[in-house]
Amino acid sequence: MAEMEAPLSTPCNIQICEVTCDSFRIVWDMPPEDTARATHFFIDLSRKESKDPNRFKHRDVPTKLVAKAVPLPMAVRGHWFLSPRTEYCVAVQTAVRQPDGDYLVSEWSQVVEFCTGDYAMEHLQQLLDKAKGSAGRLLKFSVFYRNQHPDYFDRVRKECGGLMRPALKDNSGSHGSPINAKLQGVFFSCNTEFDTGLPPKDSPYGPLRFQIAAAHLLNPNICLYFADFYCMYTAYHYVVLVLAPAGSEGDAFCRTRLPMLDLASNPFLTYTAPERQGEEPLCCHASDVILEVLFTEPVLLDQGSVEQISGHHQLMSLTTANAKKDPSCKVCNISVGR
């Protein structure tokens, strides 16, 4: 009678390394005799459970990967559509394939949790290429503007010495954008209406509007970065840009994480220096997309003016605060992990 094969020991000391937005490497300890005879690894990967007890779970979706044994660390990519900035749980099992096709398996290891990373530069470049396809012709504009409620401007004057201070970017837009919940700034708009060339009369952000000459924020001392392209189940799309003074903390943050754009020549936001002394510089914004411009430094109210808008203060539901990107839109989604 054939001798019973010794059981495989349980994989231990599991470590996850080289995590990106769509891949990771996994390594664990096992005795040399197991390393020599293991023919396969089973990896069980699942999203960390949401705290919401009513969330519907697809129990029939397979989460296990059967892989031929390879030298560790083992790269895991492309087998699942991993999402960026998402918490996952992973456990491993080693196995020896028997002549009859069955497997001798170890016990499952302990479950280890990890979180995938942000979009890498290559993914942002893909997003940028898609955004270029949606940007319309360039239109001249003369002011950046920011709508808020009266209490916001009261607080800026009374508590902040008239300085609009940068705030942490929320999680709106693409889940993998590197600036979400990491980069601070003051948001501005610059889109104008076709017929007037002026900012729109309405806003969902508040009835008071701060306006500042475009060249205050957009000039040769500023670095321009592309940060995101998204929509919220709507026909129109948003492009998020970052303006950071050269050499600033914001510039240092963006330089290694976001594609830099040429101020004089890009499809979204351009600055052209005046040809003659005394002339104004020419600033232009893309039509057909809504630009959200994050300026990474504080801005003084005294550098511009605050006035009541003439149109309606629209519903807050029209704002993009923490808005989730439409994952099914073919225009603004990219494939990672393929």
Question: What are the φ/ψ torsions at residue 199 (nearest 5 degrees)?
Answer: -60, 155
Do residues 23 and 153 both lie within one domain?
no
pTM attached to this predicted model: 0.84
In the listed set 86, 116, 146, which residue is the last one of a domain according to the structure?
116
The pLDDT of residue 194: 79
| Residues whose CB falls within 8 Å of the CB of residue 304, separated by 6 or more in sequence, listed in order | 143, 210, 211, 212, 213, 216
Q: What is the pLDDT of residue 250?
A: 97
In a domain, 319, yes or no: no
* Strands of 189-333, DSSP E: 208-213, 222-230, 237-245, 260-261, 269-272, 282-286, 289-295, 299-300, 305-308
Q: Are residues 155 and 285 in the same domain?
A: yes
15 — phi, psi (to 5°)?
-130, 140
Q: What confidence score (pLDDT) does residue 61 get?
A: 40
Do 189 and 262 belong to one domain?
Answer: yes
Among residues 116, 132, 166, which one ends one of the domains? 116
What's the CA gap between 306 and 288, in Å, rounded?
27
- What pLDDT does residue 318 have? 56
Asked if 26 contacts 92 with a C-beta cutoff of 8 angstroms, the reply is yes
**Could you tell me the residue range of the domain that residue 108 belongs to?**
12-116
* Residue 6 belongs to a domain: no
pLDDT on residue 59:
39
State percent of the chain over pLDDT 70.
89
For the chain, 338 residues long, give each residue's pLDDT as a single digit of tens: 344 578 899 999 999 999 988 889 999 999 999 999 999 999 988 888 755 444 434 433 446 778 888 889 888 886 567 888 888 999 999 999 988 888 899 999 999 999 988 899 999 999 999 999 999 999 999 999 999 999 999 999 999 999 999 999 998 888 889 999 999 999 999 999 878 888 888 888 888 999 999 999 999 999 999 999 999 887 889 999 999 999 999 999 999 999 999 999 999 999 999 888 888 899 999 999 999 999 999 999 999 999 998 876 655 555 666 677 888 888 888 876 44
| Residues 100 and 149 placed together within one structural domain of the fold | no
How much is the mean pLDDT over the chain?
87
The residues near 169 (Cβ < 8 Å, ≥ 6 apart) are: 179, 180, 181, 182, 183, 184, 185, 294
Type and span of the H or E element at 66: strand 64-68
The reply to whether 103 and 20 lie within a common domain is yes
Q: What is the CATH number of the domain that holds 29?
A: 2.60.40.10
- Answer yes or no: is 317 within a domain: no
Pair (126, 244) in one structural domain: yes
Query: What distance in Å separates the CA atoms of residue 23 and residue 40, rounded to the nearest whole number?
Result: 20
Cα→Cα distances 195→210, 267, 268, 273, Å: 22, 21, 20, 25
- 180 and 55, same structural domain? no
Total Cβ atoms within 10 A of residue 80: 17
Q: Is residue 54 part of a domain?
A: yes
Model confidence over 20-30: pLDDT tens digits? 888 899 999 99
* Any domain includes 323: no
Q: Which of 116, 134, 161 is the last residue of a domain?
A: 116
